Amino acid sequence: MDEVTIIGVDLAKSVFQVHGATASGEPVFRKKLSRGQFLRFISDQPACVVAMEACASSHYWGREIMKLGHQVRLIPPIYVKPFVKRQKNDANDAEAITEAAVRPTMRFVPVKTAVQQSQSMVFKTRDLLVRQRNQLINALRGHLMEYGIIAPPGRNFVKKLAEQIENPESGLPPIVVELSRVHLDQLSVCTDKIVVMERRLKDEAKSDPETIRLQTAPGIGPVSAMAIKAFAPPLEGFKRGRDFAAWLGLVPVQKSTGGRQILGRTSKMGQRDIRRLLIIGAMTRIRWAIKNGPPKGSWLEQMLERKPRMLVAIALANKTARTIWAMMTKHEDYRDPVAAA
C-alpha cells in the first residue's frame, strides 16, 4: 500500500472523520474514529502532514498531534469550502481539507500555545463582562424611562439614575426600587471584575519586552498591546505591513475586474478584537487632536481637514497596524515621523 503523506481531519466533539492520501493525492483510507481512538490512530501513522480546519478545538489537537512527530496545518474554513464536492458531509469535508492543504499558495493558521489561548480567554471574558454591563445599563435606563426618569447612554450617568432611584420624591413603586437596586448590584459586580482583569492585563504588559515596545506607539495602551500579543500570529510571517493590516480587516474590499480597480468599504474580514482596539485608540487620538490641535503639517492634520472623523479613524488604525508590523519585525521602538522631520 502506498505510504500516507497527508491526513485530513474533520474535527467534531466525539466522532472524527479522517482521510489519508499519498503525495500524488490518491486516497489511501477513509475512517470514522471516536475521540478515544483518534490519537492512537494518528500515533500509528508514519510522520506526515495532518491538516485540520482552524476551529475551537483545533489548536489543542494541533499541539497533541505535534507531540507525536507530525506536521500540523490549520486552514481557515472559508478556504476549505471551495474544495467540497457536491454534498456536504464529514467524509467530503475531510477530503476537501486534504486537497486544500496541499495547495502551494494556501494560507495556514499557526498553532497557538496554551499560554496564548489563556491570554485570549482573558480578553474574551472581559469582553463578555463589558457586554453584560452595557446590557444592564440599557435595561435599567429602559425600565426607568417608563416612569419619567431618563439619562443619557453610557455608564458615566449611572450615578444619576441611582440618585433618582433612592430619591423618595421620584414616585417609583417599591418593587421598581427593589429591582433597580438588583440591576445596580449586578453592575457593581461586573465593574469590579472588569477592573480586576484590566489590572492584570496592565501588570503583564509592564513585564513583557514586546508589549513595552508596542506601548511606545501612540494609540496603543496596555490592553491593546496584550491583545496583539494574545491574538496576532508572529508578525514575521507577513511580508509587509499592509498584509498585517489586511489580516486585521482594515483594508477596502476589492471587487476589481477587467483591469479596473474597484474598492469598497472596509472588509472587516479579520481579527475583530485587535481591529476594534486599534480603531478605539485611533478615535482617542483624533479627539485629542481636535481638542488640542494636530501637529502642524502632519498627515493627521491634512486628513481631518478633508475627511469625516470615522473614515480618518479607520485610516489611522490601518496606519497604526503597519507601524506595529515595522516595530515588531525590526525590534525598534516607535519613532515619531513629525519629530524626525
Digit-coded pLDDT (tens) for 261-300: 888 788 778 888 999 999 999 999 999 998 888 878 788 8
pLDDT at 100: 94
Question: Cβ distance 312 to 294 under 8 Å?
Answer: no
Query: What's the average model confidence in pLDDT over 84-89?
Result: 89
Rounded to whole angstroms, how far apart are CA atoms 18 and 15? 10
Task: Supply the pLDDT for residue 129.
Answer: 94
Q: Structural domain boundaries of the chain?
A: 6-101, 114-207, 232-340
Read off the pLDDT band of 83 (50, 70, 90): very high
Distance CA 180, CA 165 (A): 7
Query: DSSP states of 131-172 as a string?
Result: HHHHHHHHHHHHHHHTTT----SSGGGHHHHHHHHH-GGG--
Which residue carries 489590572 as its cell? Answer: 199
What are the tens digits of pLDDT across the range 98-145? 999 999 999 999 999 998 898 889 888 999 999 999 999 999 999 999
CA nearest neighbour of 6 among 60, 42, 54, 38: 42
Assess whether pLDDT exceeds 80 at residue 338. no
Q: pLDDT value at position 181? A: 95
How large is the average pLDDT for residues 23-48? 92
**H/E segment holding residue 198:** helix 174-207
- The pLDDT score that the predictor gives to residue 67 is 95
pLDDT at 194: 94
pLDDT at 324 over 70: yes
CATH fold of the domain at 6-101:
Nucleotidyltransferase; domain 5 (3.30.420)
Query: Residue 174's pLDDT band (boundaries 50, 70, 90)?
Result: very high
- Please give the model's pTM, rounded to 2 decimal places: 0.82
pLDDT at 339 over 70: no
The pLDDT value recorded for residue 282 is 93
The confidence score (pLDDT) of residue 268 equals 78
Query: Does the pLDDT at position 238 exceed 70?
Result: yes
- What are the cell numbers at 182? 438588583
Please enumerate in sequence order all residues whose Cβ is within 8 A of that of 158, keeping only pairs 6 or more positions apart, or say none: 137, 140, 151, 184, 187
- Tens-place pLDDT, residues 43-58: 999 999 999 999 889 9
Phi-psi region of 268 (alpha: psi -120 to 50; beta: other; left: phi over 0): left
